[in-house]
Each structure stands twice: as structure tokens, then as C-alpha cells.
Amino acid sequence: MEHASDEIRKTVQTWKDVTIHPHRFGGIEFRLGKRELGHLHGDSLLDIPFPIRVKEELVTAQEAQKHHIFPDSGWISYRIRSRDDIEHALDLLHRSFEIAVNALARRTADNRFTIAKGPQE
């Protein structure tokens, strides 16, 4: 079996406009523009930022745990122990990606509206 980080990296790098960087605390980080989608610590721990509401839903459904260092934040931690966990890690990262894409689309639309409308009188 391939290392979890290699398999996750290979999949996530195919997502439109996602870049991969070294993470400041070790491991690798996935970004859409300047926004971090999540990061991997080795092959066993994935951390992802979510809006608090989404984080609470994931924790309540036992799909992830509160972040291992910042439990009261919007971040979740997910332990990777098996092949099935790799698939779920990818599902969680893709959810983060979708939230980021939607936020970027809203900001872009808001900017176009402001530019088209012109200065306020």
C-alpha cells in the first residue's frame, strides 16, 4: 500500500487551482489561492479548517475529532489508520475545497458587482 500522504497528495493536486506547499509545522499543506484547505502531518494526521457549524456537524457525526491542539476553533483533526481512512480524509479535504471554491466565487461576484456599480454617491 502506498503511503497515505502520497496517495492524498496525488489526488488533491488534480483539483483545479490547488497548490501543495511545505507546512510551517512540518508535513504538507494544501491551498486554494492563499486559503489553506488543510494539512497533513506525516501519514497519520490530517487537520482541516471549517466554519464552526460544519466542524460541529462533523464532530457530532463522529466523522472527525476536535482539533488536537485548538479544540474550540473551527479546525478538525482526523486520524488516518487504514485505507478506508484515506478515502474519508479525501472526502473531508474535498468538502473544504468546495467551501473554499464557493467562498471565492462569492467574493469574485461581489467584486464584479462593486466595480460595475461604481462609486457610491
Domains, the chain, with CATH or none? 4-108 (3.30.1460)
Cα separation values, 28 from 57, 60, 111, 115, Å: 26, 27, 31, 37
Report the DSSP beta bridge partners of residue 21.
Answer: 29
Structure confidence at residue 107 (pLDDT)? 79
Work out whether the CA dihedral 102, 107, 108, 110 comes out positive or negative: positive
Give the containing element (helix H, strand E) for 45. strand 45-49
The answer for residues whose C-beta is within 8 angstroms of residue 102's C-beta and 6 or more apart is: none
Alpha-carbon distances of 110 from 26, 39, 105, 117, 118, rounded to whole Å: 36, 29, 9, 10, 12
pLDDT at 43 (0 to 100) = 94
pLDDT tens-place values along the chain, 121 residues long: 479 999 999 999 999 999 999 998 889 999 999 999 999 999 999 999 999 999 999 999 999 999 999 999 999 999 999 989 999 999 999 999 999 999 988 877 766 555 445 555 4
Alpha helices (runs of H) in 18-82, residue ranges in sequence order? 52-60
